[in-house]
Amino acid sequence: MVKDIHSFTKEYLSSWFPSLPSYQTFNLRLNRLNECFKVLSQRLISSFTPKDCDFDVSLVDSMPVITCAGRNRIAKVAKEITTKGYCSTKNQYYYGLKLHALAFRRKGTIPFPESITYTPAEDNDLTVFKQNWGDTIVNRMIFGDKIYSDFEYFNDNKKQTQNIQMLTPVKAVKGQSEQEKQWNKAYNDLFSTAVSKVRQPIESFFNWLNERTKIQRAQKVRSTSGLLVHTMGKIAIAFIYLIF
């Protein structure tokens, strides 16, 4: 994508940019701006929140940003911030980052992120939630998948102190008898279906983000700075498009 921008500018906008450097120099300068793209993305998200957001209901999920894929592949790029992870949706082992989003629900359309962060691929989604948002949000009903299920943390702690309620599909209880499973099956199935239906739009958000920017495909990145530009730069581009 960066090479396409440089090639287009060189071919069609040369009169606007008479001192356009070589692609290598252009790419080097761009990589030095990786922190700027991070700040720009955060500013766009915080400054242009749509008025139709439901500020009492949030959706939370993550998606992989893949630098290389395969069970036996070895990472060679951005080792400082990438690790090996597993994407259950793709049934795939990969090296890379994980992009996490906490988003406000919007009726009839994709949610709008309240906050986006990235971590190495191996980081647990529930742990990331606790570290980034667990102590800051209040008065919120949150819908997530089974990985966010922690009854003790949310119901015994956060529900009392911050009025946070986390709703997830019902997670199997270890050691539960088959009789107990069948006794609660109808209720659990209905509840899980309802929760999954509410949280489905955040999957649509990630699909939209990937369709617009190909953010998941980072195999051509060659440095840590390049990976950060690839990730945060594409988020900024996507939200400029969405907002304006």
Strand duo 83-87 + 53-69: pairing: unpaired
Q: What is the pLDDT along the chain (244 residues), one digit of tens a residue?
A: 778 888 989 898 989 999 999 988 988 888 888 889 989 999 999 899 999 999 999 999 999 999 998 766 777 788 899 999 998 888 889 999 999 999 999 999 999 999 999 999 999 999 999 999 999 999 999 999 999 998 888 877 787 789 999 999 988 777 777 777 777 788 889 999 999 999 999 999 999 999 999 999 999 898 999 999 999 999 998 988 877 7
pLDDT, position 72? 64
Residue 86 in tokens:
């597993």
- Distances in Å between the Cα of 237 and the Cα atoms of 144, 209, 212, 216 are 26, 10, 9, 15
pLDDT, position 90? 81
Would the pTM count as exceeding 0.85?
A: yes
pLDDT, position 202? 96
Contact by Cβ (8 Å): 27, 47? no
162 by DSSP, 3-state: which? coil
pLDDT, position 166? 94
Contacts of 175 (CB under 8 A, 6+ apart): none
Question: Nearest 5°: phi and psi at 80?
Answer: -65, -30
pLDDT, position 218? 92
Question: Nearest 5°: phi and psi at 103?
Answer: -130, 145
Tell me how far apart the alpha carbons of residues 86 and 204 are, in angstroms, rounded to a whole number.
Answer: 20
Write down the domain spans for the chain. Answer: 32-243
Q: Look up residue 64 and give its DSSP letter.
A: E
